[in-house]
Structure 1
C-alpha cells in the first residue's frame, strides 16, 4: 500500500490576495520536487474555497510508495530548504498520513 501525506495550513495572510500569493509561492516551491526526488510520486497544493474562518487555507497532498519513502522525503535536503523558505507563510500546520 502506498502512503498519502496530507498537510493543512492556516496562512499568515488573512486577505484573499495574500492567501492567493502564498498558495502560489507554496506551489512554486514544492511542486517541482516531484521531478527532483525519486521518493515523491505526486504532490499537489490546493487552496481552500469556503469557510475561511474555520477551515484551513491550503492543503498539500503527496503520495509515496511506502512509509520509508515518506520519511526519506521529509529529511531530504531539498525538502528541508523548501520548508524553511515557506515557514514564514504559515500560521499553523497539521498533517495526517494514510494508507491508500
Structure 2
C-alpha cells in the first residue's frame, strides 16, 4: 500500500528488482493524498477523498507487489515541496499449512 502526500505531479514508481513500474498521471495539491493498493485481490488507486483514480494509470503500469527480501525501488514525483512524501506500508505475508 502506497500513500502519496501532495503537492506533486506525475508519480512514477519503478521496481528494478522485478523490472515493473507504475505511473499515475495526476496532479496533487498540498492537501491531497493518493492511495495505491497493490495487495493481492485489492488493486486500487484512489484519492484521499475516496474518488477512483484507476483510469489515471498509464497503459504500461503494473500494480506490482514488493518481492520477498530486498527490492530496489525508485520514486519520481515532480513539482514537490518539503510537505510532499511517499510512504509505503508493507506487511510480509506467510502461507499457512
TM-score tier, shorter chain, comes to: 0.3 to 0.5
TM-score by length of 1: 0.37
> Higher relative contact order at CA 8 Å, sep ≥6: structure 1 or structure 2?
1
Alignment TM-score, normalising by the size of structure 2: 0.38
Larger strand share, 1 or 2: 2
Greater share of residues in helix? 1
